Amino acid sequence: MVRFAGFVLRHRVVVIVGTIILTGFFAIGLTRLWVNSDFTSYLKPDDPAVKLFNRVGEEYKGNSIVMVGIETDDVFTYPALKLVGNLTEAFKQIGGVSSVISLTDTIDIREVEGTLEVGNLIDKDNLPSTPQELKRLREYVLSKEMYRGRIISEDGRITLMICRLAQDVDKSAVADKIRKTAERIAKGVKIYYSGVPVFSLEAQKIILQDAKRLIPIAIVVVVLVLFFSFRSVRGVILPLIAVVVSVVWAIGLMGWLNVPFSIISNITPVLLIAIGTAYGIHLLSKYYEEESGDGKARTMAALGDVGVPITLAGLTTLIGFLSFIGAYITAITDAGVFTAIGVGVATLMSLTLIPAVLSLLKPKGRRSGGDPSFGRLAGRMTDFILRSGKFVLILALSLSLIAIAGLSRISREVNLMEYFPKNSLVRISEEMMQKRFGGSIPIQIVVKGDMSDPFVLKRMRRMEKFLNSLPYVSNSQSIADLICEMNKVMNGRYTVPETPEGVANLWFFIEGKEILKQFVNEKRTEGIIQAQIGTTETGERIKIVDAVNRYISQLSPRIVVIRVSELKADQMERARDWLYGEMAEEMLLDAAARGVGLKIGRERLKDEIRKSLEAKVKLSGEIIAELRDELRSYFEMESEIVVPDNLIDPLVEEILKVASSGRRGKSDYLALLKGIISP
């Protein structure tokens, strides 16, 4: 290290000038630095889940949404609807917005003069204006689940405009444009903003605010520590210059390499200021201990004595930060690498720049290093440790064991909202979204299969019910919901039709609709189930994802078609057992989604269903009398099978006997008809 010290001091002018030039170069890099607050971009791009997320965004018109809500005394007024329409059209014109859903631009499925009609909920060019029209609209919209709690609050005071963003855009920038547009058009109206792009936009502001606030605080603290340690200008300035240079080099290099500043790497400057100062302090302390020789000689002696310890201290710290390489979150890797570079630069400056400058300065008398009482306290602590070595060792070991035991109590938990002040608009907005609309965090499930197959659609509906049964999950939606909604209008039942033909007839009405691009691919071989999560706590969201994965793992990837008429007795029993299980699961999911806690398991409920459906029913005399009249009327007026008048009463009585005995199979009634009606 003595030879290295001699080399540095022989070329001290070159060291100083070279440092200034390089610092200027890296300072230019600071102007190229940009902030990335998009949390999804922190994930490894080659992760299968990330690849799927990006593919869904590209193929289904984006998977990032910005929710803009406006609150009035009553949304169903002409001025409020006009405002919604104006905002919707303005948002559509913003580059990066792929679609907007709102009251004035959403699909509606209704019956018009006995036929199914699929169109817009509101004619944006002819908004309802009379009290009667507005009242009818309010009653209609609030009566439908596809709107209530999704784009309109249950009390009709808050409505949402849901902006879906394209995949390959700067989502924070687009969110900022949406916000500025809303503030320009909806002046004087209470506005809410939510969605991951909005969180990213606010986080970006916080990153910059934190850097502007924390770096000066760190510098002030370091200056005070250095001043009370050395009581000299050079004792303050030289270590501070070294860490400032390390910050400029490390962060400037990020700018030159186009590596963004993130919510994690924004602590790098503060860390470098706190850590890097120590290396300069070691050198200066040794320098002030030297009592003879000029500045160059004292610097040579000090660097020769503490150069190796400083190098080793910097090297171990640098290696520690490099251990972040390979972290799943790429922002952690970036922060680790550039903090390590900064530590390396701070170490280098302590071994080169500080000695070079010190050697040019006139040496002063030895410094006491601050308050002498601190030295006396340190001496007493040293004496105590040396006298009580065993006690100190046992105490340290005990504390270490307690700390190790506490590791198991650490939980993975991040709540994005905790990053924002309680009175911030983004936090207030998200709390409103969770309370009124089920939250703004999306969850998407990709389903591969024929989107025209009734069984596939029914399974998607089952998955939606399961999602709605989970805590914090609501508003699940897929193409199956549109099919069910149309079937309800056509046939009075909110279910998927039983046959492919029935599904195909309904598909005809929504063919070419823009909303389909959010639910199915062009070939109808894949669909998306979407839902909203009403919490930003990662612990709860991990539980939701784990529950979904467990549910999916239990599903069979095959579709088996059976013909009941061809089943043998044992096969029929297995099919019936499967059917009872399906009925039990449907009932449990429906109950859970509606907040009804059924204290019964699937198997027990399945057994109860079996008992109920297979038990012989004892019909009361009153019911038998009603059935007799209904059956007689049916055979006389409606039956397509012409039954002779003299055989109607005997046939009715035989049917009542079969029904009363509990025998309800097709073969029972077929045998009855053959016995009563001769060919």
- pLDDT of the residue at 159: 96
Amino acid, res. 360: L
> Over pLDDT 70: what percentage of the chain?
93
- pLDDT of the residue at 368: 47
Question: Greatest CA separation found in the chain?
Answer: 136
3-state secondary structure of 380: helix
Structure tokens at 60: 């289904």
Q: Are residues 536 and 504 in the same domain?
A: yes
* Rounded Cα gap, residues 240 and 221, in angstroms: 11
- Read off the pLDDT of each residue in 413-435 and give the average, rounded to a whole number: 85
Q: Are residues 235 and 309 in the same domain?
A: yes
Q: Are residues 108 and 6 in the same domain?
A: no
- The residue among 183, 200, 217 that closes a domain is 200
Residue 37 has pLDDT above 80, yes or no: no
Beta-carbon neighbour count of residue 500 at 10 Å?
13
Amino acid, res. 126: N
Q: Are residues 241 and 366 in the same domain?
A: yes
- pLDDT of the residue at 74: 94
Residues 6+ away with beta carbon under 8 Å from 554 = none
How far is CA 209 from its chain centroid?
A: 24
Q: How many residues does the chain have?
A: 679
* Predicted confidence band of residue 668 (pLDDT cuts 50, 70, 90): low
Q: Are residues 287 and 357 in the same domain?
A: yes
- The residue among 346, 370, 394 that closes a domain is 370
- Read off the pLDDT of each residue in 59-64 and give the average, rounded to a whole number: 84
* Predicted confidence band of residue 35 (pLDDT cuts 50, 70, 90): confident
* Rounded Cα gap, residues 522 and 415, in angstroms: 37
* Predicted confidence band of residue 366 (pLDDT cuts 50, 70, 90): very low
Residue 73 has pLDDT above 70, yes or no: yes
- The residue among 182, 200, 218 that closes a domain is 200
Print the domain residue range for 641.
Answer: 621-676
Please report whether residue 409 resides in a domain.
no
Residue 441 has pLDDT above 50, yes or no: yes
Please report whether residue 41 resides in a domain.
no
Contact indicator for 155, 141 with CB cutoff of 8 Å: no
Beta-carbon neighbour count of residue 124 at 10 Å?
18
Residue 573 has pLDDT above 70, yes or no: yes
- pLDDT of the residue at 364: 67
Contact indicator for 540, 472 with CB cutoff of 8 Å: yes
Residues 6+ away with beta carbon under 8 Å from 408 = none
Contact indicator for 612, 648 with CB cutoff of 8 Å: no
Contact indicator for 487, 495 with CB cutoff of 8 Å: yes
* Least confident residue range of 55-69, 323-337, 612-626: 612-626
* Rounded Cα gap, residues 481 and 564, in angstroms: 28
Higher pLDDT, 185 or 580: 185
Q: Residue 116 carries which DSSP code? A: E
- Read off the pLDDT of each residue in 142-152 and give the average, rounded to a whole number: 91
- Read off the pLDDT of each residue in 469-482 and give the average, rounded to a whole number: 91
- pLDDT of the residue at 586: 82
Residue 183 has pLDDT above 70, yes or no: yes
Question: What is the CATH classification number for the domain harbouring 121?
Answer: 3.30.70
Please report whether residue 422 resides in a domain.
no
Contact indicator for 66, 165 with CB cutoff of 8 Å: yes
pTM of the model: 0.74
Could you read off the pLDDT of 257-294 as tens digits, one per residue?
A: 999 988 888 889 999 998 989 998 888 888 888 777 78
- pLDDT of the residue at 196: 87
Q: Are residues 68 and 196 in the same domain?
A: yes
Q: Are residues 90 and 188 in the same domain?
A: yes
124-to-104, 129, 273, 513 alpha-carbon distances in Å: 6, 12, 58, 17
Task: Indicate the angle between helix axes 621-637 and 645-661, nearest 10 degrees.
Answer: 140
* Rounded Cα gap, residues 342 and 110, in angstroms: 65
Please report whether residue 258 resides in a domain.
yes
Residue 584 has pLDDT above 90, yes or no: no
Contact indicator for 237, 208 with CB cutoff of 8 Å: no
Please report whether residue 172 resides in a domain.
yes
- pLDDT of the residue at 641: 65
Question: What is the CATH classification number for the domain harbouring 324?
Answer: 1.20.1640.10
Residue 371 has pLDDT above 90, yes or no: no
Task: Round the CA-based radius of gyration of the chain to a whole number and report it.
Answer: 37
Please report whether residue 432 resides in a domain.
no
Please report whether residue 250 resides in a domain.
yes
Could you read off the pLDDT of 388-397 as tens digits, one per residue?
A: 888 889 999 9
Please report whether residue 383 resides in a domain.
no
- Read off the pLDDT of each residue in 341-353 and give the average, rounded to a whole number: 94
Residue 36 has pLDDT above 70, yes or no: yes
Residue 321 has pLDDT above 90, yes or no: yes
End-to-end CA distance of the chain: 117
Q: Are residues 9 and 73 in the same domain?
A: no
Q: What is the DSSP string of 184-236?
A: HHSTTSEEEEESHHHHHHHHHHHHHHHHHHHHHHHHHHHHHHHHHHH-SHHHH
Average per-residue pLDDT for the chain: 86
Q: Are residues 567 and 552 in the same domain?
A: no
Number of domains in the chain: 5
Higher pLDDT, 332 or 209: 332
Higher pLDDT, 616 or 428: 428
Choose among 572, 584, 570: nearest CA to 665.
572
* Predicted confidence band of residue 52 (pLDDT cuts 50, 70, 90): confident
- Read off the pLDDT of each residue in 10-32 and give the average, rounded to a whole number: 93
* Predicted confidence band of residue 375 (pLDDT cuts 50, 70, 90): low
Q: Are residues 105 and 84 in the same domain?
A: yes
671-to-86, 567, 630, 658, 661 alpha-carbon distances in Å: 68, 20, 21, 11, 15
Q: Are residues 602 and 629 in the same domain?
A: no
- pLDDT of the residue at 380: 82
Residue 369 has pLDDT above 70, yes or no: no
Q: Are residues 259 and 314 in the same domain?
A: yes
Higher pLDDT, 620 or 456: 456
| 576, containing H or E segment | helix 569-593
Choose among 231, 355, 365: nearest CA to 297.
355
Beta-carbon neighbour count of residue 368 at 10 Å?
13
Structure tokens at 367: 């410094």
